[in-house]
């Protein structure tokens, strides 16, 4: 028995192999995944389903309202962000919508409003990173194991091609 397609399935088709996360929590719920994808693409590109699709008086046959490129762009952004739970999914949706709208409006020239939208996309990604790390600071420590010496610096013009070792100021 064939599953009856909803209007959104025709107008905003979800790519068949689209995966929203590494974990299976969101991926298992196909209805939720499809709804979130369709909601994101509808909002990002500000597309409304024509009224004539929903009337019972001589209804038009529904057709896809988004281009293949638009659909793939949203799908690729979702897959790149890899949301693992509902909060990450909401942040991913916000990022995609704001980013695509900022890109679209910047095509006619960047305004102050566009710059604010781009700043907002960075804030959303920072929030996503903070959420994923549970607020922990990431500290990167690099040790200099050669006692302050820089190795393999080649000399300037007129010098040999042999590596030069400079002392880093350590007294012996």
- Quickly count: other Cβ atoms within 10 Å of residue 29's Cβ: 13
Average pLDDT over residues 78-82: 88
Q: Is 96 exposed, middle or buried (0-12, 13-18, 19+ CB in 10 A)?
A: buried
Contacts of 127 (CB under 8 A, 6+ apart): 91
Alpha-carbon distance of 143 to 126, in angstroms, equals: 28
**Cβ–Cβ under 8 Å, residues 58 and 44:** no
Instruction: Identify which has the larger pLDDT, 141 or 166.
Output: 141
In the DSSP assignment, the letter for residue 61 is P
Alpha-carbon distance of 51 to 53, in angstroms, equals: 5
Average pLDDT over residues 154-171: 51
pLDDT value at residue 143? 58
**Cβ–Cβ under 8 Å, residues 142 and 126:** no
In the DSSP assignment, the letter for residue 138 is P
What are the pLDDT digits (tens) for 24-79?
455 567 777 788 888 888 888 888 877 766 666 666 777 778 888 888 888 899 88
What are the pLDDT digits (tens) for 101-153?
999 888 888 888 889 999 999 999 999 999 988 877 666 666 556 666 555 54
pTM for the predicted model, two decimal places? 0.61
Domain boundaries, the chain: 7-132
Strands 163-166 and 150-154: antiparallel
Alpha-carbon distance of 103 to 98, in angstroms, equals: 9
Element (H, E) at 77: helix 68-81
Instruction: Identify which has the larger pLDDT, 75 or 8.
Output: 75
Alpha-carbon distance of 7 to 16, in angstroms, equals: 17
Going by pLDDT thresholds of 50, 70 and 90, the confidence category of residue 172 is very low
Instruction: Identify which has the larger pLDDT, 71 or 23.
Output: 71
**Cβ–Cβ under 8 Å, residues 112 and 93:** no
């Amino acid at each position: 028995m064939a599953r009856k397609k909803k209007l959104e399935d025709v107008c905003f088709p979800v790519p068949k192999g689209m995966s929203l996360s590494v974990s299976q929590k969101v991926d298992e719920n196909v209805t939720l995944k499809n709804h979130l994808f369709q909601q994101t693409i509808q909002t990002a590109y500000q597309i409304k389903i024509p009224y004539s699709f929903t009337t019972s008086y001589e209804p038009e046959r529904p057709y896809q309202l988004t281009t293949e490129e638009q659909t793939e762009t949203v799908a690729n952004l979702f897959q790149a962000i890899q949301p693992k739970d509902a909060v990450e999914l909401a942040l991913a949706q916000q990022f995609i919508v704001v980013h695509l709208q900022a890109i679209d409006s910047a095509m006619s020239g960047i305004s102050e409003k566009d710059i604010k939208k781009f700043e907002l996309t960075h804030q959303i990604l920072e929030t996503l990173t903070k959420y994923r790390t549970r607020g922990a600071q990431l500290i990167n420590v690099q040790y200099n194991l050669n006692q302050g010496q820089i190795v393999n610096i080649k000399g300037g013009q007129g010098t040999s091609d042999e590596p030069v070792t400079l002392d880093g100021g350590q007294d012996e």
